[in-house]
Structure 1
Amino acid sequence: MNDRIARAALTRLFEPGDRIGRALVGRLGAYAALRLATGAQPVHTLPDVRTEELADALKRWAPRVPELAPEKDLATIERLGGGFLTPGDEHWPEGMDDLPDAPYGLWYRGNIDNGIPAPSQCVALTGSRDSTSYGASITGDMAYGLAQRGICIVSGLAYGIDAHAHRAALAGSTGESPATLAVLAGGLDRDYPSGNADLAAAIRGNGLTLSELPPGTAPTRYRFLQRNRIIAALAGVTCVVEARWRSGALNTAHHAETIARHVAAVPGSVHSANSAGCHRLLKEGGAVLVSDAADLAELLAG
C-alpha cells in the first residue's frame, strides 16, 4: 500500500520525463524516493545524480510538496468510476515495461473489467488535428476494419484523426474486448478537448481513458509530447494517417521506433501539406507504407 500511495503522489510531484526523479525511484524505490524528494528524510548522495542536480531538483519540487494529497486523488478517481494502476497490478499494461521511462502509475476511468489488451492486440492511429476528408475517410475505414477483427484502437482523443479513429472503432466493435483506449495529457476529471467529452464517455463504455497525470492536472504542450510515448507503448503498431512536416504525430512514431515497435504511414497527395509528415517517415525509412486495415493487421501479426 505504501508503494501505491507513494506512486500516486509521485505522479503529482514529478513531471513526466523528470530525469532526476526517475533516477531516485530507480535507485531507492517509490516510497523512499518520495520521502527524500519531500524532505521527509535527509538528502544523501546517489551514484547517478550529482549533488548540484539534486539540489536544483529539490528546489523545483518544493512548491508542489504542499499540494500532495495522494489519498484524496485516489478517492477522486474512484468517485469518477476509475482507479490507479501500478506495475505488478493485474491490469498493468505489459507494453509499459518496454519504456525506459515508464509511468509511475496509470490513472484510468472506464471499464477495467475488460482489461487492457497486449500490444499484439492494439494499433495506434494518430495524425493531424485539422484532418482532411481523405484522412478522415482512411482513418474511419482502418479503425472500423481493425475493430471488426477484435483489434483495439489506441489514440489521444484530439480533434481530427484521433477522434475519427475512436468513433470508427466504437462503430466496428464486436463488444468482446475494449474497442478503443484514449490516452490523455492531463487529469481525467476533465476530458480534453471538452468538445470530445461525449466521445470520451462512449469510449469508457467498454474501454478506458488513461493518463499518467493525477486528477486536476492541466494539459501542456510538454505533457502532450510525453503522453505520446504511452500511446506508442500500448500498441504493437503505430500508424500515422495524416501529418504535417512537424506534426506531434511524428513524435509518437519516434517513440514507437525507439522501443522497437512497428511504424506505419499512409501515403497521400504530394500536393497535400497534411501528408508531408507521412511522406517524410516513408522517405527516411522508418515506416512501412500501408493503405488499409488488412495491411495493419498483417504488420501487427508479423
Structure 2
Amino acid sequence: MNDRIARAALTRLFEPNDSVGRTLVGRLGAYAALRLATGAQPAHTIPDVTAEELADALKRWAPRVPDLDPEKDLATIERLGGGFLIPGDEHWPTGLDDLPDAPLGLWYRGNIGNGIPDPSNCAALAGSRDCTSYGAAVTGDIAYSLAQRGICVIAGLAYGIDAHAHRAALAGSTGEGPATIAVLAGGLDRDYPSGNADLAAAIRSNGLTLSELPLGAAPTRARFLYRNRIIAALAGVTCVVEARWRSGALNTAHHAETIARHVAAVPGSVHSVIWVLSTLMRWTPRICCVNDVHD
C-alpha cells in the first residue's frame, strides 16, 4: 500500500520526462523517493544524480508538494469508475516494461475486468487531426477489421484519425475483450478534447481510458509527445495513416521503433494496384508500406 500511495503521489510531483525523479525511484524505490523529494527525508548523495541536479529538482518539485494528496486522488478515481495500476498488479500492461522510461503508474477509467491485452493482440493507429476523407475511410476499414478479429485498437482520442479508429473499432467489436483503448495526455477527470467526451464514455463501456498523469493535470504539447510512448508500447504494431513531417503520429512511430515494435504506414492509395506493388518492392522487415503522405 505504501508503494501504491507513493507512486500515486509521484505522478503528481514528477513530470513524465523527469529523469532525476525516475532515477530516484529506480535507486531508492517509490516510497523513499517520495520522502526525499518532499523534504521528509534529508537529501543525500544518489548515484547517477549530481548534487546540483538534485538541488535543482528539489526546487522544481517544491511548489507541487502542498498539492499532494494521493489518498484523495485514489478515492476520486474510484468514484469515477476507475483505479490506479502499478507494476506487479494483475492488470498492469507488461508491454510498458519494454520502455526505458516506463510510467510510475497508470490511472484508468472503464471496464478493467476486460483487462489490457498483450501487445501481440493490440494495434495502434495514429495520424493527422485534420485528416483527409481517404485517411478517415482507410482508418475505419482497418480499425473495424482489427476489432472483428479480436485485436484491440489503441489510439489517443484526438480528432481525426484517432477518433475514426476508436469509433470503427467500437462498431466492429465482437464483445470479447476491449475493442479499443484511449491513452490521454492529461487527467482522466476531463476527457480531452471535450468534443470527444461521448466517444470516451463509449470506449469505457467495454474498454478503458488511460493516463500516467493524475486527475486535474492539463494536457500540454510535451505531455502529448511523451504520452505517445505509452501508445507505442501497448501495441505490437503502430500504423501511421496520415501525418505531417513533424507530427505526433510520427513521434509515436519513432517510440515504437525504439522499443523494437513493428511500424507500418498506409501508402498513397490502398485501392491502387500500382501504389501497392511499388510499395511492396520497397518493403523492409521493420518498416512496411512507407511513403510520403501529406495532408
TM-score band, normalised by shorter chain: over 0.9
Segments of structure 1 that go 5 or more residues without pairing to the other structure are 270-278, 292-302
**Which residue pairs with 1:224 in the alignment?**
224
Give how far 1:290 is off: 7.7
Give how far 1:289 is off: 1.1
CA deviation profile, 1:32-90 (whole Å, cap 9, x unmatched): 00000000001000111000000000000000000000001001100100000000000
> What is the letter of the counterpart of residue 254 of structure 2?
H
> What is the letter of the counterpart of residue 61 of structure 1?
W
> What is the letter of the counterpart of residue 34 of structure 2?
L
Give how far 1:249 is off: 0.4
**CA–CA distance in structure 1, aligned partners of residues 140 and 150 of structure 2:** 15
**Which residue pairs with 1:78 in the alignment?**
78
> TM (normalized to structure 2)?
0.93
2:283/2:289 contact within 8 Å kept:
no
**CA–CA distance in structure 2, aligned partners of residues 55 and 233 of structure 1:** 32
**Which residue pairs with 2:117 in the alignment?**
117
**CA–CA distance in structure 1, aligned partners of residues 215 and 46 of structure 2:** 32
**CA–CA distance in structure 2, aligned partners of residues 228 and 267 of structure 1:** 22
> What is the letter of the counterpart of residue 119 of structure 2?
P
**CA–CA distance in structure 2, aligned partners of residues 132 and 34 of structure 1:** 47
> What is the letter of the counterpart of residue 210 of structure 2?
L
> What is the letter of the counterpart of residue 194 of structure 1?
S
Cα 1:33–1:66 shift into 2, 3 Å: same
> What is the letter of the counterpart of residue 223 of structure 2?
R
CA deviation profile, 1:90-116 (whole Å, cap 9, x unmatched): 000010100000000000000000000
2:253/2:263 contact within 8 Å kept:
yes
**CA–CA distance in structure 1, aligned partners of residues 249 and 3 of structure 2:** 34
Give how far 1:17 is off: 1.0
CA deviation profile, 1:165-219 (whole Å, cap 9, x unmatched): 0000000000011000000000000100000000000000000000000111100
**Which residue pairs with 1:240 in the alignment?**
240
CA deviation profile, 1:97-153 (whole Å, cap 9, x unmatched): 000000000000000000000000000001000000000000000000010000000
**CA–CA distance in structure 2, aligned partners of residues 285 and 111 of structure 1:** 35
- Correspondence 1:102 to 2:102: yes
- Correspondence 1:143 to 2:150: no
1:62-77 alignment to 2 at 5 Å? 62-77=62-77
**Which residue pairs with 2:13 in the alignment?**
13
**CA–CA distance in structure 2, aligned partners of residues 35 and 135 of structure 1:** 49
Higher mean C-alpha deviation, range 238-247 or range 164-173: 238-247
**CA–CA distance in structure 2, aligned partners of residues 236 and 290 of structure 1:** 17
Give how far 1:268 is off: 2.1
Cα 1:285–1:59 shift into 2, 3 Å: farther
Aligned to 2:64, what secondary structure does the other structure show? Answer: helix
**Which residue pairs with 2:23 in the alignment?**
23
Give how far 1:160 is off: 0.1
**Which residue pairs with 2:170 in the alignment?**
170
1:30-49 alignment to 2 at 5 Å? 30-49=30-49
Aligned to 1:242, what secondary structure does the other structure show? Answer: coil
CA deviation profile, 1:214-248 (whole Å, cap 9, x unmatched): 11110000000010000000000000000011111
2:13/2:61 contact within 8 Å kept:
yes
Cα 1:285–1:57 shift into 2, 3 Å: farther
Give how far 1:287 is off: 2.0
**Which residue pairs with 2:276 in the alignment?**
none
**CA–CA distance in structure 2, aligned partners of residues 116 and 36 of structure 1:** 33
**CA–CA distance in structure 2, aligned partners of residues 57 and 215 of structure 1:** 22
**CA–CA distance in structure 1, aligned partners of residues 290 and 245 of structure 2:** 19
**Which residue pairs with 2:193 in the alignment?**
193
- Correspondence 1:127 to 2:153: no
> TM (normalized to structure 1)?
0.90
Aligned to 1:246, what secondary structure does the other structure show? Answer: coil
**Which residue pairs with 1:264 in the alignment?**
264
**CA–CA distance in structure 2, aligned partners of residues 285 and 242 of structure 1:** 21
Give how far 1:260 is off: 0.4
Give how far 1:267 is off: 1.3
